[in-house]
Chain A
Amino acid sequence: MMTTTSTIPFDIERIRADFPILDQEINGRKLVYFDNAATTQKPIPVIEALMNYYRGYNANIHRGIHTLAEKATADFEASRRAVRDFLNAPSAEEIIFTSGTTMSINLVAQTYGRHFLKEGDEIIISGLEHHSNIVPWQMLAGEKGLTIRAIPVLENGELDLYTFEGMLSERTKIVAVNHASNSLGTVNPVKEIIAKAHAAGAVVLIDGAQASSHLDIDVQDLDADFYALSAHKIYGPTGLGVLYGKRALLEAMPPYMGGGEMIKEVTFEKTTYNDLPYKFEAGTPNIADVVALKAAIDYITSIGKPNIAAYEHQLLQYATEQIGQMDGIRLIGQAKEKISVLSFVLEGVHHQDIGIILDQQGIAVRTGHHCTQPVMDRFCILGTTRASFAMYNTMEEIDKLVAGLQRVKKLMA
């Protein structure tokens, strides 16, 4: 029997056909969408799940006893179980729906952080964090007199773990780092970071916004205390996120917001709170988007995360070679392990000019500081041009980017 090992069974044409948005022209050119780290496009099953929900069984969940409410509730909770499987969480009760990674992090800062941290305690973040994993901790630190310290970033875009070890002490109460960097693509060794933080007695929050569409996530294997992600970055709807938390921690934490759904009993004297996960889901949740998130997860699973990761790795390698060898290009972030994010600067050309000229050619990239100003400061730059790839991108599209950049150079010369 013949075996093939070099090629991956990956039907790119079929996948592209599942994403209707890709089939359009921008400024007279076929769209090349390389802004996937900002948000991914949605496959037909996700769009249909949203439509089917609103057309067929929109109802408020958990309380209604009529048929539509029961169906909506069943699908809502089925999605929670799909997220549990996606993250390999021990139980569905540890999966809390939020509005996005930002809210997930704020929830932990304002409940766990506010309740358990006291003056003089320390929070360790990293120099690779998105502003959404910096500012919530700063707000808490300002309120409670905490100190925030940041793990330094090495020249290749990796975290300086040697320094991190020295930063840990009995004062360290929370370590909050991303699984992968949105601006450089660096995959951080979070399992190792978690183990070291735990040894020092700290709890760890992992910002998984960027990693979740690319890497297999196993919160039990990582031993993460909290893991946050956004649905829209894993081919799901916008305005929806997830917070995984270990049961013991979630149970010890006070609620975040008060309202309906999160209560057991309310009198004017006293309210008892509902069980997990509802304690943290006050008010009518984002039912339609939760339902559609399951379609996104099922879609990813049907193609297979390892297949997606392997294909995206090929895209990244090809882009790194092709763009890296261009005159005047400086790649920012060359960590050994990366998700499919390529950040670069072109000598003498402002990143905004690059973005405008590429857009004229139908190529969507992101330019600027990517909400990671400390990363830009670290590399003494104002911003980068970032191309980030998803499962539906192709090598031909990378060729178009290279040609587009040649055009930028010609125009700016």
Chain B
Amino acid sequence: MTINETQDEIIEEFELFDDWEGKYEYIIDLGKKLTPLDEQYKTEDHIIKGCQSRVWLHAALQGDRVIFTADSDAIIVKGLISMLVRVYSGHTPDEIVNSDLYFMEKVGLQQHLAQTRSNGLASMVKQMKTYGLAFSALQKG
């Protein structure tokens, strides 16, 4: 599945909800189900600091694919992270770098990427792309 196909799939899933409560229930559920990040990666090196909650992100190259694992101490952010990992993980560095993230806006969660949320989520998206760039350079190097 391509990055955009996954995004479209998430958008379709969210069409099932007609109120905020259902939507957030689903995100919270995703957060609870996200495989916790191995404690060894919950270090300062992997932390993306936000004012409110902490986000950890780990990336590794397996073959020609980038595998992301991530975690947060806040459950809604964790649910949002889970969707970002689902969109980006398992793709090549170039696919990640050249992708356009649109599903958050389409499902009405854009405010979580806004500056004021200070939750590290916007920084996390940037960091995922940066990993893509770095791995891409490594592959071409």
Interface flag for A352 (CB, 8 Å): yes
Interface flag for A136 (CB, 8 Å): no
Q: Report A374-413 residues with CB < 8 Å from chain B CB.
A: 382-383, 407, 411-412
Q: Within the assembled complex, what's the spacing in Å between the Cα atoms of A203 and B74?
A: 44
Q: In the complex, what's the smallest C-beta–C-beta distance from A187 to chain B, in angstroms?
A: 27
Query: Which residues of chain B come closer than 8 Å to A369, judged between CB atoms?
Result: 51
Interface flag for B127 (CB, 8 Å): no
Q: Report A354-368 residues with CB < 8 Å from chain B CB.
A: 355-357, 360, 367-368
Q: Within the assembled complex, what's the spacing in Å between the Cα atoms of A353 and B53?
A: 9
Q: In the complex, what's the smallest C-beta–C-beta distance from A184 to chain B, in angstroms?
A: 19
Interface flag for A27 (CB, 8 Å): yes
Q: Within the assembled complex, what's the spacing in Å between the Cα atoms of A355 and B77?
A: 12
B24–A350 touching, CB < 8 Å: no
Query: Which residues of chain A come closer than 8 Å to B52, judged between CB atoms?
Result: 351-352, 355, 367-368, 383
Chain A interface size, under 10 / 10 to 19 / 20 to 34 / 35 or more = 10 to 19
Interface flag for B81 (CB, 8 Å): no
Q: In the complex, what's the smallest C-beta–C-beta distance from B70 to chain A, in angstroms?
A: 16
Q: Within the assembled complex, what's the spacing in Å between the Cα atoms of A66 and B49?
A: 54
Q: In the complex, what's the smallest C-beta–C-beta distance from A232 to chain B, in angstroms?
A: 17
B75–A412 touching, CB < 8 Å: yes
Query: Which residues of chain B come closer than 8 Å to A407, judged between CB atoms?
Result: 21
B24–A352 touching, CB < 8 Å: no
Task: Give which listed residue, A350, A368, A382, contacts B75 with CB less than 8 A.
Answer: A350
Residue interface bits B64-75, CB-to-A below 8 A is 1, else 0: 000000000111
A27–B20 touching, CB < 8 Å: yes
A350–B73 touching, CB < 8 Å: yes
Q: Within the assembled complex, what's the spacing in Å between the Cα atoms of A368 and B52?
A: 5
A411–B53 touching, CB < 8 Å: no
Interface flag for B119 (CB, 8 Å): yes
Q: Within the assembled complex, what's the spacing in Å between the Cα atoms of A411 and B53?
A: 19
Interface flag for B47 (CB, 8 Å): no
Q: Secondary structure of the A side of the interface?
A: helix
Q: Given A352-B52, A368-B51, A383-B52, A411 and B77 touching (CB < 8 A)?
A: no
User: Closest residue to A351 on the B side, CB-wise?
Assistant: B52
Chain B interface size, under 10 / 10 to 19 / 20 to 34 / 35 or more = 10 to 19
Q: In the complex, what's the smallest C-beta–C-beta distance from B27 to chain A, in angstroms?
A: 9
Query: Which residues of chain A come closer than 8 Å to B21, judged between CB atoms?
Result: 360, 407, 411
Q: Given A368-B52, A411-B25, A412-B28, A353 and B76 touching (CB < 8 A)?
A: yes
Q: Given A411-B25, A411-B28, A352 and B20 touching (CB < 8 A)?
A: no
Q: Within the assembled complex, what's the spacing in Å between the Cα atoms of A357 and B24?
A: 8
Query: Which residues of chain B come closer than 8 Å to A355, judged between CB atoms?
Result: 52
Q: In the complex, what's the smallest C-beta–C-beta distance from A370 to chain B, in angstroms?
A: 10
A411–B24 touching, CB < 8 Å: yes
Q: Report B101-128 residues with CB < 8 Å from chain A CB.
A: 118-119
A382–B73 touching, CB < 8 Å: yes
User: Closest residue to B119 on the A side, CB-wise?
Assistant: A352
Q: Given A27-B20, A412-B75, A352 and B53 touching (CB < 8 A)?
A: yes
User: Closest residue to B50 on the A side, CB-wise?
Assistant: A352
Q: In the complex, what's the smallest C-beta–C-beta distance from B117 to chain A, in angstroms?
A: 8
Query: Which residues of chain A come closer than 8 Å to B74, judged between CB atoms?
Result: 350, 352-353
Q: In the complex, what's the smallest C-beta–C-beta distance from B121 to chain A, in angstroms?
A: 11
Q: Report B42-93 residues with CB < 8 Å from chain A CB.
A: 51-53, 73-77
Q: Within the assembled complex, what's the spacing in Å between the Cα atoms of A382 and B77?
A: 16
Interface centre among A360, A369, A382, A411 (most CB of B within 10 A): A411
Query: Which residues of chain A come closer than 8 Å to B75, judged between CB atoms?
Result: 349-350, 353, 412
A352–B28 touching, CB < 8 Å: no
Task: Give which listed residue, B25, B51, B76, B118, contacts A356 with CB less than 8 A.
Answer: B76
Task: Give which listed residue, A349, A350, A360, A382, contacts B20 with CB less than 8 A.
Answer: A360
Query: Which residues of chain B come closer than 8 Å to A27, judged between CB atoms?
Result: 20
Query: Which residues of chain B come closer than 8 Å to A357, judged between CB atoms?
Result: 24, 76
What would be 21 A-B contacts, judged by CB atoms less than 8 Å apart? A27-B20, A350-B74, A350-B75, A352-B52, A352-B53, A352-B74, A352-B77, A353-B74, A353-B75, A353-B76, A355-B52, A357-B76, A360-B20, A368-B51, A368-B118, A369-B51, A382-B73, A407-B21, A411-B28, A412-B28, A412-B75
Identify the B interface with A (CB < 8 A).
20-21, 24-25, 28, 51-53, 73-77, 118-119
